[in-house]
Copies of this chain bind each other. A is one copy, B any other.
Amino acid sequence: MSTAVSPKILELGALRRICSGCSLRELCLPAGLDNDAIAALDEFVQKRQDIQPQEMAYRAGDPASNVYAVRLGSFKSYRMRKNGDIQIIGVHLPGELFGLDALASEQRQVYTEALEKSNICALPVGDLERLSHQIPAIGRQMMRLMARELNNSYEEHELLANDSALTRVAKFIWRYAQRRQQVGLQYRQFDIAISRQDLANYLGLQVETVSRAFRELRDRKVITASRSKLEILDPDALQALIRKE
């Protein structure tokens, strides 16, 4: 029940060059590391894995043995309450790490599930800790990434504590687009694999309220949106919404 990701065979020559040859190397864990450090990292990064929609990277209670990097696709992380309700606490896009909480405890505290067909790299925690010791730059980079996570959580706190439903949705879309832009993906027009229900849950709203926010944005000609297709028609208007309301 624990492991769920099905490994995929890569051509032999690539095994040694996972990070070095990755298009996300400037944005992922290797960012800012020199070639030697990346070479060392390459030795430990598990091979890439395909993962299907609704497949779990891990579940709460699993041994927390890896940190993961998203290469392709997207994921949601959530906690589960005793009554079975879930609370989505994060969405992970290409170039981002997830499962960093693994460094706190032996067991996973959250669930992380693929929202669409995706591809990830697994980084064994034990190796990371050993590597951090051998190559300080890697340890520092890990710290940096965790601290970035913390800062993200502060922004989420602000959003949940202050913003109206419309602003929450606008911010989500805006930030989603920004995050895509950072890794060189289309950011004016793209798919959001997350469902309205999940988005509502994440933003602390009801589905109906999210739906109305989307309609409002559509009516104002800020975006077009059907199911998972999204296009930003008026980025300035979107930004204005975020700053004012």
Interface residues as binary, A192-218 with B (CB distance below 8 Å gives 1, 0 otherwise): 000000000111100000000000000
For the residues of A in contact with B, the DSSP-based class is helix
**Closest residue on chain B to residue A149 by CB atoms:** B150
Docked-complex contact A89 and B143, CB < 8 angstroms: no
Q: Which residues of B contact A204 (CB under 8 A)?
A: 160-162
Is A22 close to B, CB under 8 A? no
Q: Of B109, B156, B157, which contacts A151 at CB under 8 A?
A: B109
Which residues from chain B contact A100 at a C-beta distance below 8 Å?
Answer: 147, 150
Point out the residue from B82, B142, B201 that lies within 8 Å of A143, measured CB to CB. B142
Pick the 7 closest A-B CB pairs, nearest first. A104-B147, A161-B204, A153-B153, A160-B160, A103-B143, A103-B147, A87-B158
5 A-B Cβ contacts within 8 A? A89-B158, A104-B151, A105-B147, A149-B150, A162-B204
